[in-house]
């Protein structure tokens, strides 16, 4: 028997995992036995992928319930197959999948909650970088200085109050009113290796996005003022420094 090329074999094997024909090379003395044995493997893979999603999206799981989550996770695992053996890299499109899933049309916040949870995972696994000593900022020229932020820093512009919903579903959290309207999330890995989620205003978001894009402090502050007149840059910069999210200035 001549086996197909490696890429073709992988494609056939993956297709078999979601209900296709047995991949080339899977044999048994009793053909029916080959199918049964592969079905066990198929079920183990489906279970493993569902558990990986459950671990990555615990708040989504809590909001929809275990049974519904497992059903949705199974559908997602067929629609968007992992492309890497590192399962922490899988699930980026889960939020979009939830937003477009007809049975969840009445729960539009679920997609944004999933985006937060995926971004937290990315932040946790981001590359290490040594925080800058705050003292170095005492004499910087804001017209020339570019702050390098930690690789974990991300700004998510959400369509729903998902930061508040996520916070209310953390262990030990107290019930609180959920504000109306969209929120912007700041996500980073702090110096204690925690990954907090903070709701920020439009000015803070514009400033951080400009810094991430390589703008100088002066230019970033101007961007913030354009979207939020009267915005002061100091509070959010202090927050980033205290979290260890400012790596070092580059002049």
Per residue in 233-245, pLDDT (tens digit) is 999 999 999 999 9
Backbone Cα Rg of the chain:
23
* Residue that is last in its domain, among 107, 141, 172: 107
Q: Do residue 83 and residue 166 come from a single domain?
A: no
Give domain status of residue 62, yes or no.
Answer: yes
Side by side, the strands of the sheet bearing 184-187 are 154-157, 184-187, 197-200
For residue 114, being part of any structural domain is answered with no
Can you give the pLDDT at residue 47?
84
The answer to whether the pTM exceeds 0.75 is yes
**Lowest mean pLDDT segment, chosen from 47-51, 112-116, 167-171, 215-219:** 47-51
For residues 135 and 249, membership in a common domain is answered with: yes
User: In this structure, are 192 and 224 located in the same domain?
Assistant: yes
Q: Residue 220 CB: number of other CB atoms within 10 A?
A: 24
- Give dist(CA 211, CA 215) in Å, integer: 5
Average of per-residue pLDDT across 30-52: 76
Residue range(s) defining the domain that contains residue 151: 129-251
Mean pLDDT to the nearest integer, 24-51:
74
pLDDT grade, residue 71 (50/70/90)?
very high
CA pair distance 18, 81, nearest whole angstrom = 10
pLDDT of the residue at 18: 64
Residue 112 lies in a domain: no
Q: How many CA atoms lie within 13 A of 112 on its CB side?
A: 22
Is the pLDDT confidence value at 29 over 90?
Answer: no
Which residues are CB-neighbours of 186 under 8 A, at least 6 positions away?
153, 154, 155, 197, 198, 199, 200, 204, 205, 208
Residue 146 shares a structural domain with residue 248: yes
Nearest to 51 by CA among 23, 21, 82: 82
Q: Tell me which of 50, 73, 107 is where a domain ends.
A: 107
Q: Is residue 123 part of a domain?
A: no
Indicate if 87 and 150 belong to the same structural domain. Answer: no
Among 73, 107, 141, where does a domain finish? Answer: 107
Domain count within the chain: 2
Q: Tell me, yes or no, whether 91 and 184 share the same domain.
A: no
- Whether residue 136 sits in one domain with residue 247: yes
pLDDT band at 50 (very low <50, low <70, confident <90, very high): very high
pLDDT at 110: 98
pLDDT tens digits for 112-145? Answer: 999 999 999 999 999 999 998 888 777 788 898 8
**Is 197 or 3 the better-scoring residue by pLDDT?**
197
99 and 133 share a domain? no
Of residues 85 and 104, more confidently modeled: 104
For all residues of the chain together, what is the average pLDDT? 88
């Amino acid at each position: 028997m001549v086996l197909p090329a490696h890429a073709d074999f992988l494609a056939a094997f993956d297709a078999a995992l979601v209900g296709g024909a047995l991949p080339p090379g899977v044999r048994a003395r009793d053909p029916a036995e080959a199918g049964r044995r592969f079905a066990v493997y198929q079920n183990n893979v489906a279970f493993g992928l569902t558990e990986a999603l459950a671990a990555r999206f615990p708040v989504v799981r809590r909001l929809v319930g275990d049974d519904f989550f497992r059903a949705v996770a199974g559908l997602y695992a067929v629609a968007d197959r992992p492309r890497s053996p590192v399962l922490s890299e899988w699930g980026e499109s889960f939020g979009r999948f939830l937003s477009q899933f007809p049975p969840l049309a009445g729960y539009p916040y679920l997609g944004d909650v999933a985006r937060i949870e995926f971004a937290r995972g990315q932040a946790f696994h981001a590359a290490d970088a040594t925080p800058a000593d705050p003292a170095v900022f005492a004499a910087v020229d804001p017209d020339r200085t570019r702050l390098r932020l930690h690789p974990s820093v991300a700004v998510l512009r959400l369509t729903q109050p998902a930061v508040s919903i996520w916070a209310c579903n953390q262990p030990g959290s107290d019930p609180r009113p959920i504000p109306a309207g969209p929120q912007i999330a700041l996500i980073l890995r702090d110096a204690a290796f925690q990954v907090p989620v903070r709701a920020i205003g439009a000015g803070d978001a514009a400033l951080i996005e400009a810094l991430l894009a390589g703008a100088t402090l002066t230019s970033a502050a101007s961007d913030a003022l354009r979207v939020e007149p009267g915005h002061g840059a100091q509070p959010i910069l202090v927050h980033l420094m205290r979290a260890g999210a400012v790596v070092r200035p580059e002049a």
